[in-house]
Amino acid sequence: MSIFRVCKDKDNPYLIMNKSGLQDKNLSWKAKGILAYLLSLPDDWRIYESEITQHSADGIKGTSSGIKELIKAGYIKRETIRSKEGHFKGYEYQVFEVPTESLKTENGFSENGKRHTTNNNSTNKDIKNKELYVIKNDDCPFLSFYLAAYEHYQGKKHMRVSAESLEYIRESIDTIKFCDVSIDDWKTAVNNHFQTLPESNNGNILAFLKASFRYFEIDLGRAI
């Protein structure tokens, strides 16, 4: 085997890191790559999953599963940040070169979630002359709470949506759950959404999902 290296100087920056993570047989190559990337960042760098995703071809689903793997293995500690009012504001991450045993207790969701959607159509308007469908919660507590909140704040049931929008809604909620957003964080964000809803916003769940980055640091793309 031959390995060809570059000269390590100010014009060719390099990283010095402990080998523990790279030689950990319990980690996937994806998780090892994310760990190496994170350790290459400045110590005070603010970590966002959406930003990490931009530096690889894995997409949000792959990035999220790799981070969950590192959390479970003890290389990352993630804590929820809330405002004084208790509203969800994001996550604070701590990254360790050597795993910390006490961090190996956080559970993630199955990797069998649906793919991240990248729909680039318009946000909360269904195309005219399309057949519209009632949004059903399908025993999903996330969707069920949003529909109940809509009826509570708006005084009526949620409007019907097109088949494309319905598929987008279900896939987006699957992605949000896959990214480890708890039902409590979802409820807090939904209540905050309706309590600060401008008159120009009719409360359509598509608009809420479009604001998912602000609420959960998850970029779902533009809704239909």
Q: What CATH class does 29-99 carry?
A: mainly alpha
DSSP character at residue 102: G
Here the tokens at position 141 are 């507590």
Mean pLDDT calculated for residue range 26-45: 90
Helix or strand run (H / E) with residue 88:
strand 88-95
DSSP character at residue 92: E
Return d(Cα 130, Cα 160) in angstroms, integer.
11
Return d(Cα 31, Cα 44) in angstroms, integer.
21
Beta-ladder partners of 56:
none
Q: Is the pLDDT of residue 125 over 60?
A: no
* Sign of the four-CA dihedral 160, 162, 167, 171: negative
Half-sphere exposure of 18 (CA within 13 A, CB side): 9
Strands 88-95 and 76-82 come out as antiparallel
Residue pLDDT, tens place only, 188-224: 889 888 888 877 788 899 989 988 877 888 877 544 4
**What's this model's pTM, rounded to 2 decimal places?**
0.46
Question: Are the beta carbons of 70 and 103 closer than 8 angstroms?
Answer: no
What pLDDT, on a 0 to 100 scale, did the predictor assign at position 143?
93
> Residue 31: helix, strand or coil by DSSP?
helix
CA dihedral defined by 78, 56, 118, 203, rounded to 10 degrees?
30
Give CA 33 to chain center in angstroms: 19
* Sign of the four-CA dihedral 98, 41, 17, 111: positive
Q: Is the pLDDT of residue 127 over 70?
A: no
Return d(Cα 169, Cα 130) in angstroms, integer.
17
Contacts 24+ apart (CB under 8 A), 47-54: 47/91, 47/93, 47/95, 48/90, 48/217, 49/179, 49/217, 49/218, 50/213, 50/217, 50/218, 50/219, 53/219
Beta-ladder partners of 161:
133
Residue ranges of domains in the chain = 29-99, 132-216
Mean pLDDT calculated for residue range 61-65: 84
Q: Is the pLDDT of residue 35 over 90?
A: yes
What pLDDT, on a 0 to 100 scale, did the predictor assign at position 34?
93
Question: Are the beta carbons of 18 and 98 closer than 8 angstroms?
Answer: yes
What pLDDT, on a 0 to 100 scale, did the predictor assign at position 130?
57
Residue pLDDT, tens place only, 75-116: 998 887 877 777 767 778 899 988 885 433 333 322 333 323
Residue pLDDT, tens place only, 146-182: 999 999 888 899 999 888 888 889 888 988 888 888 8
